Structure 1
Amino acid sequence: MSFDILQDFSKTEILQWVRENAFARVRKSDLLFIRWKLAAKTIEHDHRQEMDHWAANKPDFSRRDGLARQFNESINPQEKLRLLRQMRPYDLALQQHIERCKKLDKRQKHVDGLYRKYEEEQGNDNH
């Protein structure tokens, strides 16, 4: 049975061990890089998951385009309303996908900011 030995110790104990046994000076940029790497891996996974979900569940927009053409050609208000109702699920699915992508983009900006902090600190470490 495999387990992580670090789970058995407190943060304080682990930090003390690192301070006593580390051969190289721990730099802030090293830790920032680890923070960025973990965040980048998470956002990449979430983005891939969204794209896979969209690919598997993407509506047939050619059908929606056909309904839109019928809507544009129709002069009957009842028919137009019926066609709008049929188009609604397509529009809703696309809108929800776009909103999820916007949230991912916002998170990506945060991850990009983490990398900029890493680069800034790396420059400070070299001085």
Structure 2
Amino acid sequence: MEMLLIREDLCLVKTTTNAIDFWNALRDYHEKVTVTSRVSLLRKLCNLNLLEGGDMEAHLFEVEELFSRLENADLKLEQPIKIAMMLRSLPDSYGGLITALESRSDEDLTTELVKSKLLDEHERQRE
């Protein structure tokens, strides 16, 4: 991700002495934690859908980015909710995989496993 600093941003970071403080100053200013910002992020997540034949890798990156932004807004989603949000965003062609994943026990089902299976299925469908 490319970041362009504007004049107003320079004022926010001019006293920072390291990269973490620099990033936190920008994040705190631009990602204000409000009910409105949380609702906006949740809306984006709920409205995010992979189109049939779409790029799964880019889709999962976007989903993870929204999860991260929600966590930064003090709204951490539990793993079962994250998995449900990933699965609900898929087109009908992933129905068989979704059913197979939903039949697994909660202990076996992790976000990493789901992402891996989704990427495998995407590759299979492309072939």
Please indicate the TM-score interval, normalised by the length of the shorter structure.
Answer: under 0.3
The structure whose RCO (Cα within 8 Å, separation 6+) is larger is: 1
Q: TM-score, normalised by structure 2?
A: 0.24
Task: With the length of structure 1 as denominator, give the TM-score of the two structures.
Answer: 0.24
Q: Higher helix fraction: Structure 1 or Structure 2?
A: 1
